[in-house]
Structure 1
Amino acid sequence: MLEPGTVVAERFRVLRSLGKGGMGTVYEAEQLGLGRHVALKVMHPHIASAPGFSERFQREAQVLARLRHPGSVEVYDYGLDSGLLFLAMERVSGETVDSLLMREGALPVPRAVDLAVQVLEVLEAAHAQGIVHRDLKPANLFLESSPGGERVKVLDFGLAALGGELHARLTQEGMSVGTPGFMSPEQMRGHPTDGRSDLYSLGCVLYELLTGFPPFPVMPSAEIVVAHLYKPVPPFHEVRPDLSVPERLESLVRRAMEKLPGARPPDAAAMRQELLAVLAEPLGPPPLPKKRGEGKKTERGLGGARHEVPVPKPMPGGTPVGVLVPRHQETAGNTLVMSLAACGFQAWVASETEPWEAFGALLVVADGRESLAWARALAARPGSPPVLLCGPADDWDLVTGALEGGLFDFVPLPLDPIDLTRKVSRAQKLKR
């Protein structure tokens, strides 16, 4: 921690600390000679000393310094001074979107969409230079007042990982950078990312702007990772039954949060155009006013605590569900059948010789990678109903293989009745 009065690189005098994060501390500092106040980000020593990090950081800074957009924070200087790796940036004033949500809760549709459009304009400029932010979240979006109205500034591009050679992990292979509640599935798995990863994160942000809640309720980080990897995004009406959001807008938000990058909008420009089209349409009647005492604090509690998102009631379909199991997994198959029955489904352990036309969905109990290949082969058969793979939630290879291998969905063990019901119901609906 640098004390006020400390001079960095003979040109920045530290005035006060502005905040501390996982990668470094940000200070307000005066640029000597110019009298300009800047935001000085100083990386934590254990990060700055990691092999190769200093070189990558300074190469990033050179690219970031060329990113000139009204919605991005301008980079003034960077360097290494007595072991201190620093980045001097434009000092912004105002408040973060996170603070705004804490105070006001969900935003009106026009305002939420306008903020997202402004962010997408910045992302267009960044992606054009190969810069992927990789940590978009309400706390990294700053609101400034300007003569033209509310202006969004996107913060923390200084921690972004660039495409190409700069996609190398910050300290070691497989390390992910970002905030779990807003990270894309491919980023969580440590896979290469491109601009579509930022669109996923922005979809999470827009979901919260419109509903007042994150896509998945506050939970331990490991559970949030699992939710983003394979759980469907709850529809708006499940989170806020009183909310009135255009169907086209909700569809776009959910598409931005698709698990596979190829299912999302192709780029920031395309998503921005779709949002502008939503703004151009009539938005319908405003939601009913809330009673006195209800509102903002019921959506986001004080101190950042959020009330739990209501879960939907099971809505099972009428077509039966077939359960397919390896020979030595009969017990697991019977347990799954009982769970399905408890949720209101007709289900039984099926054989490969049964006619499948009568089934609304098939659940395959996983037993290693062989089961994944088996499920894929079943899904590829002509006339096959939607196939879901059921296996351990912590088997990332299995989860990833199911999502990327043509299967309808992945059902984690231990079973969550609500999750099981939602996924099987969706599969049955697709079959019909």
Structure 2
Amino acid sequence: MQPKTEFVKFLGKGAYGSVDLVKYIKRDDNALPLYAAVKTAECEDYNSLEREIQILSKLEGCRRIVQCYGNYTLEEDFDVGGFRVYKMVMEYAAAGSLFSFMDSYKDRKLPETMIKDFTRMILQGLVSVHRLGYVHCDLKPDNLLVFPCRQSYELKISDFGSSRKVGEYSDCWDVDLPFVGTPVYMSPESVRSGVAEKALDLWSLGCIVLEMYTGVIPWSEVEFEGLAPALSKGKAPEIPKSLPCDARKFLETCFSRNPKERGSASDFLRGEVVSGFSLPPLKLKIKLAPEKPTNVSKKPLKLKIIPPKPPQFKKGGIKPLKLKIMPLKPPASSFVSVQ
């Protein structure tokens, strides 16, 4: 028996389906939440939605990946026009996507501490994805969901409809639109070959971090027709000089022309690529005392014995101690007198 649901509001639309917020009126399964995000795809997008739910099933339990409810199978249904559709039930991000979340800040610029926290969370999610041998291929603020958590927020990666295995050629490739994912977040090699590699996601991460700092979408100054030629020449989004030094180094590494020079998500987390930005483990610095000059003649050490001071007493005669003897009390009897 299907649980009874109530439509709450429309959340958004992606390349392979739309997402709605629904409320469960009657829940036969206690595992179902009160609210959930339901992604609906038509028949022509079935393969993409099926691929996504299969990848999510392998990432079950990963804190930085959006989670599904149920047994990781698509639900069949019919839309208002009577056409067959397929649905996937996911956890609901109350704070929305990162893109809409940034709109609540002045000039869409996030605080630096939040940027570093969100960057760390994205890297943790990418480590899980890449470890399984997949590339997300469409990492962008719209596909990063923000979850309120006490006094802060948590970020999770979503929308794996464009994801491919490492080394796999993307069937999203098109002569007129030579991009694997969303153009402004794509790397130069994705334009040249269309083959999914892990370094592609790190370039996209750089674009996201740049946007969190500046509040501006990457390549906003470039016309769409000029974007592919710019990327094919190895150009990268402009990094403002006003950004902190460690942030600029981080972005320069993400935007390396040679994909191998970008390292890996694990390298960033360990601080092996850019120290200071990716929150490496704390290191204890010990400051050593300066060494004494060696050209000074050493004198033999002399041992000086200082006798202890005699105990100090107050002036006046010492009164003799008096011993007071107290008689012992007889032990209390535990017997009760009987008349």
TM-score band w.r.t. shorter chain: 0.5 to 0.7
Letter in structure 2 aligned against 1:162: R
Deviation at 1:121, TM superposition (A): 0.6
Give the superposition deviation at 1:176: 4.3
Q: Which residue of 2 aligns with 1:270?
A: 267
Cα separation, partners in 2 of 1:256 and 1:165, compared to 1, 3 Å? closer
Question: Alignment partner for residue 72 of structure 1, among 65, 74, 86?
Answer: 65
Partner-residue secondary structure (3-state), 2:19:
strand
Greater shift, 192-201 or 137-146, is seen at: 137-146
1:58 is aligned to 2:59: no
How many pairs align?
259
Q: Deviations over 1:371-420 (max 9, x none)?
A: xxxxxxxxxxxxxxxxxxxxxxxxxxxxxxxxxxxxxxxxxxxxxxxxxx
Q: Quick check: 1:200 aligned with 2:203?
A: yes
Are positions 1:169 and 2:152 aligned together? Answer: no
Pair member with larger Rg: 2
Q: What letter is aligned with 2:277?
A: V
**Out of 180, 185, 188, which is 1:182 matched to?**
185
Partner SS, residue 73 of structure 2: strand
Distance in 2 between the 1:169 and 1:196 partners? 19
Partner of 1:109: 112
How many angstroms does 1:30 deviate by? Answer: 4.5
Q: 1:45 to 1:222 in 2, by over 3 A?
A: farther
Quick one: structure 1 residues 227 and 280, their matched pair in 2 at CA, closer, same or farther if it must change by over 3 Å? same
Name the TM-score, length of structure 2 as normaliser.
Answer: 0.66
Alignment of 1:16-415 (within 5 A): 16-30=9-23, 32-34=27-29, 36=33, 37-48=35-46, 54=47, 57-67=49-59, 68-76=61-69, 77-79=72-74, 81=76, 83-102=84-103, 103-104=105-106, 105-147=108-150, 149-157=152-160, 159-163=161-165, 169=171, 176-230=179-233, 231-237=235-241, 243-246=242-245, 248-265=246-263, 267-274=264-271, 277-278=276-277
CA distance in 2 between partners of 1:229 and 1:21 (Å): 26
Give, in whole Å, the separation in 2 of the partners of 1:195 and 1:11.
Answer: 39
**Cα shift at 1:259:** 3.1
TM-score, structure 1 as length reference: 0.53
- In the other structure, the counterpart of 1:352 is none
% identity of equivalent residues = 23
Contact 2:140 2:208 in 1 (8 A): yes
Residue 161 and residue 107 in structure 1: after superposition, are their counterparts in 2 closer, same or farther (change >3 A)?
A: same
2: distance between equivalents of 1:279 and 1:168?
Answer: 30
Distance 1:135 1:168 in 2: 12
Q: What is the CA distance between 1:187 and its match in structure 2?
A: 2.5
How far, CA to CA, are the matches of 2:56 and 2:125 in structure 1?
12
Distance 1:84 1:12, change over 3 A: farther
Distance 1:64 1:166, change over 3 A: farther
Q: Which amino acid aligns with 1:106?
A: K
Distance 1:172 1:138, change over 3 A: closer
Partner amino acid, structure 2, of 1:141: L
- Any idea what SS the aligned residue of 2:276 has? helix
TM-superposition CA deviations, 1:123-174 (whole Å, max 9, x none): 11111112321111122222222137321122213x1423159755259899
Shift of 1:64: 1.3
C-alpha contact 1:78 1:88 (8 A) present in aligned 2: no
Look up the match of 1:289. Answer: none
The 1:220–1:234 alpha-carbon spacing in structure 2 relative to 1, beyond 3 Å, is closer
| Cα contact 1:176–1:190 (8 A) shared by 2 | no
Distance 1:232 1:154, change over 3 A: closer
Structure 1: how far apart are the matches of 2:2 and 2:157?
28
Give the aligned residue type for 1:43: A
What per-residue deviation string (whole Å, max 9, x for no partner) do you get for residues 92-135 of structure 1? Answer: 21133222333323233332122111110111111111232111
Matched AA of 2:266: A
Give the distance between the partners of 2:173 and 2:220, measured in 1 at CA: 30
Offset of 1:193 from its aligned partner?
1.3
Q: Distance in 1 between matches of 2:168 and 2:254?
A: 25
Unaligned runs of 5+ in 1: 1-8, 49-53, 238-242, 282-432
